[in-house]
Amino acid sequence: MSKKTMVSFRLNGKDTDVVVEPRELLIHTLRERCLHTGPHIGCETSHCGACTVDMNGMSVKACTVLTVQAEGADLLTVEGMAQGGELHALQEAFMQEHALQCGFCTPGMLIRAHRLLQEIPDPSEEEIRYWMAGNLCRCTGYQNIVKAVQYTARKLRGEAVQTSHPLMGETR
Ligand code: FES
Ligand code: FES
């Protein structure tokens, strides 16, 4: 049996220590030890993006990162997006634009879109599709996910936003 080691990181702003075997994957640590089950396990081969988390300002697929590689890291998962009981603008936008159906891909989509908007506050549709290409969705056809990112970008720039979804119709 391999020797266990302590790994320390910040998880959604909270100092966290875990004791793991060197072979343990970050997705398993997050879900089973830290009880952050937002990051999902889909393919476990870095294809689907369901396990996407932000690590030191980069999107990573937690099914292909060893927990020991997260030593000293700053990690953001979907659980860290809402603040003070208020949804993050992206979460609101996904709701307003009907950008999810079953929701399995959504935690990874939100974290990837969050990184995109950190890097490019006013992305073109082409840039959104390029940045989100590593996150697969079997339900939505992607169009409403693109709209949700555009909605968020407008909102974060202080512009009035209105959903394009016919059943929502709420202006904020
Ligand atoms: Fe990690 Fe699919 S579970 S990319
Ligand atoms: Fe079902 Fe994306 S909403 S996989």
Distance (Å, whole) CA 54 – CA 49: 12
At the topology level, CATH places domain 5-80 in Ubiquitin-like (UB roll) (3.10.20)
The yes-or-no verdict on residue 150 having pLDDT over 60 is yes
pTM (predicted TM-score) = 0.93
The rounded radius of gyration (Å) of the Cα atoms in the chain is 17
The yes-or-no verdict on residue 171 having pLDDT over 60 is no
Q: What is the pLDDT of residue 162?
A: 81
Q: Is 137 in the pocket of ligand 2 (CB under 6 A)?
A: yes
Distance (Å, whole) CA 79 – CA 167: 27
Distance from the alpha carbon of residue 159 to the mean position of ligand 2, in angstroms: 28
The yes-or-no verdict on residue 106 having pLDDT over 60 is yes
Sketch the domain layout of the chain as residue ranges. 5-80, 89-161
Q: Is 90 in the pocket of ligand 1 (CB under 6 A)?
A: no
Show the CA angle centred on residue 27, arms to residues 153 and 148, nearest 5°: 15
Distance from the alpha carbon of residue 55 to the mean position of ligand 1, in angstroms: 15
Q: What is the pLDDT of residue 1?
A: 61
Contacts of 119 (CB under 8 A, 6+ apart): none
End-to-end Cα distance, the chain: 56
Q: Whose CA is nearest to atom 1 of ligand 2?
A: 102
Q: Is 142 in the pocket of ligand 2 (CB under 6 A)?
A: no
Contacts of 6 (CB under 8 A, 6+ apart): 17, 18, 19
Q: Is 28 in the pocket of ligand 1 (CB under 6 A)?
A: no
Distance from the alpha carbon of residue 142 to the mean position of ligand 2, in angstroms: 9
Distance from the alpha carbon of residue 75 to the mean position of ligand 1, in angstroms: 17
At the second CATH level, the architecture of 89-161 is Orthogonal Bundle (1.10)
Q: Is 102 in the pocket of ligand 2 (CB under 6 A)?
A: yes
Residue 55: which of 88, 80, 19, 85 has the closest Cα? 80
Locus of tokens 């959504």: 106
Retrieve residue 83's tokens.
């603040």
CB 73 within 8 A of CB 9: yes
Q: What is the pLDDT of residue 168?
A: 67
Retrieve residue 58's tokens.
């980069």
The mean predicted confidence, pLDDT, of the chain is 95
Q: What is the pLDDT of residue 160?
A: 83
DSSP lists the bridge partners of residue 171 as: 162
